[in-house]
Amino acid sequence: MTVYFCHSHSRSLKFVRHLFSVFCLLILAAPTAWSKENLQEVMKRRGLTQDDILAAAKTYTPTGGRDEFLVFASGGQSGQVIVYGIPSMRILKYIGVFTPEPWQGYGFEENSKRVLEQGRIDGRDITWGDTHHPALSETNGDYDGQYLFINDKANPRLAVIDLHDFETKQIVVSPIYQAQHGGAFVSPNTEYVMEAAQYATPLGGDYVPLDQFKEKYRGGVTYWKFDREKGRLDPAQSFSIELPPYSQDLSDFGKLASDGWSFTNSFCTELYVGGIEKGRQPFEAGCSAKDTDYMHVINWRKAEALYKAGKVTKVKGHPVITMETAVKEGILFLIPEPKSPHGVDVTPDGKFITVSGKLDGHTFVYSFEKIQAAIAKKEFVETDPYGIPILDMKKVLQTQVDLGLGPLHTQYDSVDGVAYTSLYVDSMVARWNYRTGKLIDRIPVHYNIGHLMTMHGDTVKPRGKYLVALNKLAIDRFNPVGPLHPQNHQLIDITDSNKMTLLYDMPLPLGEPHYAVAIEANLVKPVMNYKAGTDSRTGTISPHKTMAGSERIERKGKKVEVWATVIRSHITPEIIEVEEDDEVTIHLTSLERAQDIVHGFTVNKYNVHASIEPGETTTVKFKADKPGVYPYYCTEFCSALHLEMQGYFLVKPKVKKDKK
């Protein structure tokens, strides 16, 4: 029919003819809504290749489809965790961890405020976090889908997320560090969650001048006991090992062959303290003067026994095994590692440990068997300034591989011996074999990759299939959105042993996700609703559980307490009237059982918000310090009568007695 228009040659005004021809061109140039395009036409219009179509087919998930793997990515500076699916790369959830998260009511209702309050430091609310490393709980060295842990580097904290409802349940603060990077990493049966300090400080954080750096500043590694029954870390059963003031970087637990041991790399073993403004060399030079740094090799099972035997000193009430004890008892050793190392990753069989030197350009593979042999024979080349025995690198090294520039982190494949290492400077992923020390192939990524992740890639049983490159820069990959670009997670197909293939670019607009972990989706079994009256943050039935018909308002002096229920489509009660300066507590119970029917609750202008999920009981609290009329309402479009799910909160002004 369009053709008719174009050829219907009227002898009317030139202008009209011109309009017609423009219209005609438009129709020919772009298919209109009413013409069905076939695949070839779409490919032509969008400039897609056969490979693009294949990549799309490998990632596209039709409506209602599910992902094979779930990713838990650090939310970086957002202090949150990002959950997305593989292969679709669809974001499924942001979990509030160290930072208030309004949708989930996290930090805006009392129950979750109590979790955030656990993260207070020196009485101060810290409402952000620099999250780096998420870790999934493990059973026999493989993910079990029960818990997720994540660290906060800036404020030395560790959080526990229960995957039965994807909520943060606990935050613990390190009693002895001022910074914390080498965590979270879990032991093969999640007995402990490990974290190492990063920037050396006096343990406990007291003031000591920098000229006493060597004597008084320290690093360390903490083993937080995890109580799986309770689903909480137990500070009363946790302990640390004092380490030299080398900047401890990343850690990993041994497994299978190396079970019972843990490994922590370090940089700045030069003990440099900076001072560019005083005419000294800058940190980056002072901290990379030497050709090697040290990996700490720790027998944590023996350390646990020492702790249980009371061979500790207390720092701020926290048990610490001193370096002296650690050396005397033979639980701590050092191994030289490549210059400015980053990343330490134990192979699935636990037999090898890989460490990459950012400035060395080599990835080192250490043999755990050789390490054990050297320790048994006491083959030490020297001790460090703190008396810690140093193993002969040449004797414990399995192989040393040149993968490219700026190697960082390593993950493993389901194929025996195959590893993947990120190359920050080269912006590539290298596939190689840690048994043979051979580079297999490399794929460019865009750009500047930090961590990388394969499916179950840090467990005893990697699943292969996919790899995600967690790139620091996106530069030209997406539509520009100002100077702060999104990060770019690139999905890479690793099923072809000849060639890795890039499948998808996912912009991540939340924080800098350092590390991520991916688990088979069917291993995670979250609930769809709570047992009636559950306080989700404690997992217990709330004393304020309220059933239909027992809603009430009670006053005790200046305290007004409300027990309310929510269900489609009303909040009971609907009118709450208080007096100026009353302390108001509103407990809300959802009477819903249906999946995905969530109500939100706010009292306008009082900065409270709750997400009341099916079966949940939660509480908001505030002081009615400003007389007036405040609507309250449900903030989720929960039903056709959602807008009517409202009420009035009235604050009567005080009667001014002294005015006649």
Site of interaction with ligand CUA (CB under 6 A)? 599, 634, 636-638, 642, 645
Minimal distance, residue 625 CB to ligand CUK, in Å: 43
- The count of other CB atoms within 10 Å of the CB of residue 173 is 19
201: its two tokens: 């400080």
Q: How far is the CB of 612 from ligand CUA (least distance, A)?
A: 8
Please list every residue from 163 through 202 that binds ligand CUK, using CB under 6 A: 181
**Cα–Cα distance between 608 and 600 in angstroms, integer?**
10
Which of ligand CUA, ligand CUK, none binds 544 (CB below 5-8 Å, type-dependent)?
none
Site map (CB under 6 A) of ligand CUK, residues 433-452, x = contact? -----------------xx-
For residue 128, the number of C-alpha atoms closer than 13 Å in the C-beta half-sphere is 7
DSSP state, 153?
T
Q: Which is nearer to ligand CUK, 100 or 156 (CB)?
A: 156
Give the residue with the Cβ less far from ligand CUK, 198 or 546. 198
Rounded Cα gap, residues 341 and 421, in angstroms: 13
Q: In what order do the strands lie in the sheet with 380-383?
A: 247-253, 261-267, 292-299, 332-338, 389-391, 380-383
Q: Draw the binding track, 469-508, toward ligand CUK (x: CB under 6 A; -: no contact).
A: ----------------------------------------
State CA 355 to chain mean position distance. Answer: 22
Q: Report the distance separating Cα 615 and Cα 489, nearest Å.
A: 36
The residue number whose beta carbon is nearest to ligand CUK equals 450
Nearer to ligand CUK, 110 or 345 (CB): 345
CA gap 192, 72 in Å, rounded: 20
Rounded to a whole number of angstroms, the minimum distance from the CB of residue 488 to ligand CUK is: 14
- Under the criterion CB under 6 A, does residue 463 sit at the interface with ligand CUK? no
Identify what 164 binds: ligand CUK, ligand CUA, none; CB under 5 to 8 Å per kind: none
d(CA 479, CA 190): 42
**Residue 645 binding partner per list ligand CUK, ligand CUA, none, with a CB distance cut-off of 5 to 8 Å that depends on partner kind:** ligand CUA
C-alpha closest to that of 219 among 265, 173, 185, 184: 265
Q: Which is nearer to ligand CUK, 150 or 331 (CB)?
A: 150
CB of 287 to ligand CUK, least distance (A): 16
β-pairing, 232-243 vs 318-321, is parallel
Residue 276 φ/ψ, nearest 5 degrees: -60, -35
Dump the DSSP string for 242-311.
EE-SSEEEEEEE--GGGTTEEEEEEE-TT-----GGGTPPPHHHHTT-SSEEEEEEEEHHHHHHHHHTT-
When CB distances are held under 5 to 8 angstroms depending on the partner's kind, the choice from ligand CUK, ligand CUA, none that residue 599 binds is: ligand CUA
Q: Which does 5 bind (CB under 5 to 8 A by kind): ligand CUA, ligand CUK, none?
A: none
Q: Which is nearer to ligand CUK, 183 or 462 (CB)?
A: 183
User: Using CA atoms, how far apart are residues 635 and 623, in angstroms rounded to an integer?
Assistant: 21
Restricted to residues 391-430, the positions that interact with ligand CUK (CB under 6 A) are 408-409
Name the residue nearer to ligand CUA (CB basis): 23 or 637. 637
Least spacing, CB of residue 545 vs ligand CUA, in Å: 19
Query: Could you list the residues that contact ligand CUK (CB under 6 A)?
Result: 132-133, 181, 250, 342, 408-409, 450-451, 514-515
